[in-house]
A and B are shown apart, each in its own frame.
Chain A
Amino acid sequence: MALLETIGLHKGFGGVNAIAGLDFHVDKGEIVSVIGPNGAGKTTFFNLITGMAKPDSGQVVFDGENIAGLDPDALTRLGIARTFQNVRLFPNMTVLENVMVAQHCRTSKGIFAAILNTRGFRQEEAEIEQRGKETLEFFGTRLTGYRHDQPAFMLSYANRRRLEIARALATQPKLMLLDEPTAGMNPRETAELTGLIGKLRDARGITVVIIEHEMKVVRDVSDRVVVLDHGVRIAEGRYEEVTSDPAVIEAYLGRPAGAAE
């Protein structure tokens, strides 16, 4: 059963159609890679699903409900979380605060509870902190211990990427959208993260859609690969099928010189 499905999704910027009638689906428990050359519309696609951009037309169905046009915070509450291509943490908040604030939509105590310091408020704060620490443990000891109180800007590049995933994880999502999670990582870190992406599904039951340029990662994690170009799906299938598809090769490398139209 499809957890997320887009039907005839369309988004234009001025005269350019970033997404032009895209049909896409991801089943519950699946890991799907979205690949495509630069400017294919991959990040716009993510923005449309997470509400950061509103589609011009078409439907986005999540868990049997049309969610096109909802605000990002409402989508997060429904269970969609994402990371960003160019890491966007809250740099001056600590590592722990980053994952604590992400639980905002799963918690409820407001201003009055905080001012009166009620039992419920203290309990919830303790739970938020506890859950935050547990979430950080997803990456072993890399983000634990003294790192809890370090501001996010102090982290190394790879750790920032990890923290961004942890922060998305802390929103307790059903669907996670990872935008180039291994960009800028060295081969060892990439391999480690590849394993963790599998763990997201196997241990936590989270469905994952991932944009990735690193073909090794795509091969290792994906159940299915979807190739976009100019805002439309040009191929779909297992990794081996897709990578030998002439249309895909053409999209990436261009048409061979002198080939007939």
Chain B
Amino acid sequence: MAITEAPPTTSVDLRKVLRAGLLGALGFVFVATIGMVETFSTKNVIDPILSLGYTVLMAIAVWTGYRGAKAAAADREAGAGERILYGSAAGLIGGLGAALYVIWINTFVVREVLSNVSPRLIELLNLGGGMGSGITLAIVGGVVGGAVGALLSLASPLMRRALIGSFLWVLIVGFLEVVISQILRELHLGFIVGLAIPTVAALVLTRVLRQGPALILGLLASVAVGVVAAINLESVGLSMTFLIDFVYESRVGGRALTTPAAVAVFVLAFVLVVVTEGPRTRARARVAAMDPEERQRWLFGAVAVFLGLGVFLPMLLGSVVNELLATTGIFLLMGLGLNIVIGYAGLLDLGYVAFFAVGAYATAILTSPLSKVSFDWGFIATPLNFWEAMPFVIVAAAIAGILVGTPVIRMRGDYLAIVTLGFGEIARILFLSDWLTGTTGGAQGVSRIPSIPLGFTEIKGTDQQMIFYAVFFFVLIAAYISWRLQDSRTGRSWMAMREDEQVAETMGVNIVRAKLQAFVIGAIIASFSGALFAVKFGTIFPASFSLIVSITVLVVIIVGGMGNIPGVAVGALVMIGVLGGRNSPGLLREFEGFKLLIYGGLLILMMLKRPEGLLPSRRRARELHQDEALQDAWLRAEASGEDDARSES
């Protein structure tokens, strides 16, 4: 075997190579046994060459080789040949493990115990042939993959990033087939112009104007111009559908990238990554060196572009993606609320779903014509419309916030989490209880929740595009509130409380007040989310408000980046939009069966590698990497100290 041929003088830790190989084998067995390979094999990444199932296996082999080669290089500078040798060796070990697995499932019938080891899986692993071809595939695949992994470890960081990045882009373009073909189908010249006008206007205004309000006014004007242009130019046409036929091939399991398109995407992404490396580094340096005022102006620009996208993109996306976005937005809204409670004020609330439920039920009970609650005060009578119900919903949420917040005023950390978790369940059971059945409808819930009137038109729950706009509107409100509060007197008092409650109190912060404020604002934002949820589905049941919703929202803000508004948005997009929330498949439908597994894996990975989240606030990143921050500061002081010395002399 390759390992024994290595010169005895090396200090390469062979145990590490062995461990990499065994981990690879374990990975192979795991994804095969849980049924991932089989399920993913129906999804073609590149038509007709590569299915997602084989892609996963390939990725495992490459990763194994990469780790093996890294192990060889860990103790000293190993040569290229040696690295490839050890990478392949690790791949070989993994491949041997995989081959044993293949022999095992070919020889014995294990399906009665491991139900996912189906004939189809065996056929896939045998590559259509007999056991011999399966064994060959496992070993050759392992060695080749390992060698590729080793080569990858030899490449410069830029090259490695470009290669992996480009491959990921191929995957992304393949997966976003629904979105991209929908956009291409709808994309007329008019829309391009309509989108370009506000974007360019926003960029220009960011440069010219220094004030936020004027910028937003100007932006609104340019959005209006964009809409008019889009509508007028739509008749001109210039369809882009020819691109769809080039990029995607229709198959039974859904559409997949064609081989030429895959190559084109790979090359394009690769070139883009390499070519933009310099400018990106410079841009990052410039952002780091920006003064707050300039940063603020760019921030306004980014917000403006985001607004433009929020208005225009849904027109292109069709109902499937719009529904996904609306669901994402509902969770994002909750995430923003929970971000105030946990991210700002540090109150670990695991019963957050209670406020979501209060918002949904309050809306449903007050607006549904079937509701048993009725009153007539002359100027206002049930059933109310959505906007008339809103003040009641807010008051109900605020009361719920105070009811949950008051008993837990003196609790912290774990105790607070457990008690709020209990409150969340109490809320759900209350809505289900006989006691409130007259009002809440028990297990049947409340149905026929009407649409949102908008004067000249209305937002129907089934019109996904309009629902998205409604959600977007409330998300903007919640984001604005979060942004305003972050650096205010109230926000600072929350921050101090999160840091050290006792000291905050000694410095004059009224803890009772600060906690209730956080609970109430969080509750109100969640109630917006609940109200939209009720309108979107038209019917609500207690079962929609279980503990898992609280946990999902918590995971959204942890993965995205606690304490940071764009971070929460990224978290919602990744967790809900791409992976899919409870009862709502995300963009990656193939992952549906493995969603919880991926959730768990992702969460563990994030906690180990990036506890501050994908897009953290500066403060949180610094907090979780104090050592690095200290070192940075020390180095900078050193550098500036030298500068001082030079300028003095």
A residues contacting B by CB (< 8 A) are: 50-52, 71-73, 76-77, 81-82, 84, 88-93, 97, 100-107, 109-111, 114-115, 117, 121, 124-125, 128, 150-151, 153-154, 167, 171
Contact = CB atoms under 8 A, between A and B. Distances in A.
Contact of A154 (B491, B506, B633): B633
A76 B499 contact: no
B517 A167 contact: no
A73 B511 contact: yes
Contacts of A128: 489
Interface string B481-522: 100110011111101100110111111111100000100010
B484 A93 contact: no
Contacts of A91: 499
A115 B340 CA distance: 14
B508 A97 contact: no
B637 to A, nearest CB: 9
A221 B249 CA distance: 85
B462 interface: no
Interface in B595-632: 619, 622-623, 626, 629-630
A77 B508 contact: yes
Contacts of B503: 84, 88-90
A114 B489 contact: yes
A100 B496 CA distance: 10
B507 A92 contact: no
Given A93-B499, A109-B488, 6 more contacts: A92-B499, A102-B507, A104-B492, A109-B489, A115-B481, A153-B629
18 contacts: A71-B510, A76-B507, A88-B502, A93-B495, A101-B495, A101-B507, A104-B496, A104-B507, A105-B509, A109-B488, A111-B488, A111-B517, A111-B521, A114-B485, A114-B490, A114-B491, A125-B488, A151-B629
Interface residues of B, number: 33
Which 8 residue pairs are nearest across A and B when measured between Cβ atoms?
Answer: A105-B508, A114-B488, A76-B508, A90-B499, A101-B492, A72-B505, A92-B623, A72-B506
Contacts of B508: 73, 76-77, 102-106, 171
Contacts of B622: 92, 151
B291 to A, nearest CB: 12
Nearest to B506: A72
A93 B346 CA distance: 14
B485 A93 contact: no
Contacts of B490: 110-111, 114
Contacts of A150: 633
A121 B488 CA distance: 9
A114 B484 contact: yes
B557 to A, nearest CB: 18
Contacts of B496: 90, 93, 101, 104
- Interface class of chain B by DSSP: helix
A124 B490 CA distance: 13
B500 A125 contact: no
A154 B630 contact: yes
A91 B626 CA distance: 10
Nearest to B292: A149
Contacts of A124: 489
A115 B509 contact: no
Nearest to B521: A111
A84 B505 CA distance: 13
A73 B489 contact: no
A159 B619 CA distance: 20
Interface in B365-418: none
A173 B493 CA distance: 19
Given A111-B521, A115-B481, A104 B505 contact: no
Contact of A104 (B489, B499, B502, B623): B489
A88 B500 contact: yes
A71 to B, nearest CB: 7
Contacts of B506: 50-52, 72-73, 76, 82
A81 to B, nearest CB: 8
A76 B508 CA distance: 5
A252 B592 CA distance: 72
Given A88-B503, A92-B622, A93-B496, A73 B510 contact: yes
Contacts of A154: 629-630, 633
A128 B484 CA distance: 16
Contacts of A171: 507-508
Of B485, B495, B508, B510, the most chain A CB neighbours within 10 A belong to B508
A125 B511 contact: no
A174 B83 CA distance: 70
A34 B614 CA distance: 51
Nearest to A74: B510
A15 B622 CA distance: 44
A44 to B, nearest CB: 15
B509 A73 contact: yes
B216 to A, nearest CB: 13
Contacts of B511: 73
A65 to B, nearest CB: 17
B507 A71 contact: no
B391 to A, nearest CB: 15
B256 to A, nearest CB: 48
Nearest to A92: B623
A97 B492 contact: yes
